[in-house]
Amino acid sequence: MKYEEGLNYLFSKLPMYQRTGAAAYKKDIGNIIKACKILDNPQNKFKSIHIAGTNGKGSTAHMLASIFQEAGYKTGLYTSPHLKDFRERIKINGQLISKKDTLDFILKNKIQYEKIEMSFFEYTVAMAFDYFANENVDIAIIETGLGGRLDSTNIISPEISIITNIGYDHTNLLGNSLEEIAKEKAGIIKKNTPVIIGRKQKETEHIFKSEAKEKNSPIHFCKKNLNYSTDLKGEYQKENLNTALQAMKILNLNINDGIISKGLNNVVKNTGLNGRWQTIAKKPLTICDTGHNEDGIKNNIKQLKKLKFNKLHFVFGTVNDKDLRKILRLLPVNAQYYFCSANIERSLNSEKLLEESKNFKLLGERYESVIEAYHSAQSNAKMDDLIFIGGSTFIVAEVL
């Protein structure tokens, strides 16, 4: 088996949430426990930081990874989903896991893992834990995939747990209220382990305090810190920056302010993070962002309003398990829309998207592909216009 065949096996043979949605979601963590037992429990062989939340967990994870790299730590980083390359999910000091290590893991464990019917996400979590243990990382930053309590990553014993914020996303799986969603995210709080809450919200504060008290876990709500900056653009990154700084404060590792500042201002360089308020062209100004739920899109629209441009060209698509009407009502009516579908099963049909958008007075056309929509926006936009690409991680991925 070659590397490409191994990837095809992971993508096509295993249940994959990013591709098919709820059908791939498993409501227990029994499989990952079995999978890691086969590997001699690698998750117990390295220190870790665990991050959950509706938005910002990926950015926060990359900020922390960059700080640790600048401080000289051999730093593992596990995030999802990937944008262009599967191996983006598993990195050490910003370097992707090698194709050889990826394939070797698949070949070594394929037969045993088929017996326990592993999902795609479970497979990648096991691969990451095994890789980090074998490479003797000093610390690994681990981002949950979905939720927290039942997430496959939730078998680690971290130095600190982080919950960035709570918003409406994956409500079909996590619950229809902020309180229900918070209970799922609170599942990453471990006994006698500090937990940081990135955003204090009246609907969820009592849930986190109650869970922390039950687990005897010190709880810290983030405060604003105006003394640091980051190379990650987007106003929403201020909250993630505060969360990362709070984590470093609680960890108390004697990493000086200069190193922390350098880490925060070299996140893209150190970790390769893409798709967060990223400028991909300047004439006309073209920006993409992976914000894909109500909170994320609200932040995008808020920041768009602060930019100066003549006309907004919005390349937009989403997936079929979002509350479409809640998202469409957030979008500006004074824009030209290019409705499209990403090349995944979960993607919402662009024709349906176009029809529903008319109810919100959003004007535009539908396209067969993301690239076709993007090229049309490029053709129509003048030099003083703005092209924005968003609505879904998968839309952004096809443009980058």
201-225 residue pLDDT tens: 999 999 999 999 999 999 999 988 7
Locus of tokens 């926006």: 377
CB neighbour burial string for 183-219, b if at least 16 within 10 angstroms, e if fewer: bbbbbbbbeebbbbbbbebeebbebbeebbeebebeb
The pLDDT mean for the chain works out to 93
Pair (159, 241) in one structural domain? yes
89 shares a domain with 177: yes
pLDDT band at 24 (very low <50, low <70, confident <90, very high): very low
pLDDT greater at residue 270 or residue 235: 270
State the pLDDT at residue 169: 65
Tell me, yes or no, whether 234 and 322 share the same domain: no
CA distances from 376 to 110, 331, 370, 373, 400 (A): 44, 20, 10, 5, 16
Residue 160 has a CB neighbour count (10 Å cut-off) of 23
Question: In this structure, are 34 and 153 located in the same domain?
Answer: yes
**Across 368-391, average pLDDT:** 97
- The per-residue pLDDT for range 111-166, each reduced to its tens digit, is 999 999 888 999 999 999 999 999 999 999 999 998 889 899 999 999 999 999 99
Residue 363 sits in a domain whose CATH number is 3.90.190.20
Residue 266: which CATH number?
Answer: 3.40.1190.10
- pLDDT per position as a tens digit, 226-243: 789 999 998 999 999 999
DSSP H stretches of helix in 252-383: 257-264, 267-271, 294-304, 324-328, 350-357, 370-380
For 332-369, write each residue's pLDDT tens digit. Answer: 999 999 999 999 888 999 999 999 999 999 999 999 99
- Whole-angstrom distance, CA of residue 300 vs CA of residue 294: 10
- Number of residues that this document lists for the chain: 400
Residues 288 and 383 in one domain: yes
Contact (Cβ atoms closer than 8 angstroms) between residue 68 and residue 252? no
Domain containing residue 12: 3-271
Quote the percentage of the chain above a pLDDT of 90. 85
Reported confidence tier of residue 400, pLDDT bands at 50, 70, 90: very high
DSSP 8-state assignment for residue 349: P
In the predicted model, what is the mean pLDDT of residues 288-309?
Answer: 94
Integer CA distances (angstroms), 17 to 13, 119, 241, in order: 13, 9, 29
Do 232 and 63 contact (CB within 8 A), yes or no?
yes
Q: Which of 271, 292, 318 is the last residue of a domain?
A: 271
Q: In what order do the strands lie in the sheet with 48-52?
A: 95-96, 90-92, 75-78, 139-143, 48-52, 160-163, 195-197, 219-221
298 and 378 in a common domain = yes
- 312 in the same domain as 233: no
Do 294 and 199 belong to one domain? no
Question: Do 252 and 319 belong together in one domain?
Answer: no
How many domains does the chain divide into?
2
Residue that finishes a domain, picked among 218, 237, 271: 271
Q: Is the pTM of this model over 0.85?
A: yes
Q: Are residues 267 and 354 in the same domain?
A: no
Are both 243 and 392 inside the same structural domain?
no
What pLDDT is attached to residue 173?
61
Mark which of 245, 271, 297 sits at the end of a domain: 271
pLDDT of residue 27: 63
- Listed in order, strand segments (DSSP E) in 79-157 are 90-92, 95-96, 139-143
Q: Could you give the strand order of the β-sheet that contains 285-288, starting from the edge strand earlier in sequence? A: 278-282, 285-288, 386-390, 312-316, 335-339, 363-366
Same domain, 343 and 261: no
Please say if the pLDDT value at position 280 is more than 60.
Answer: yes
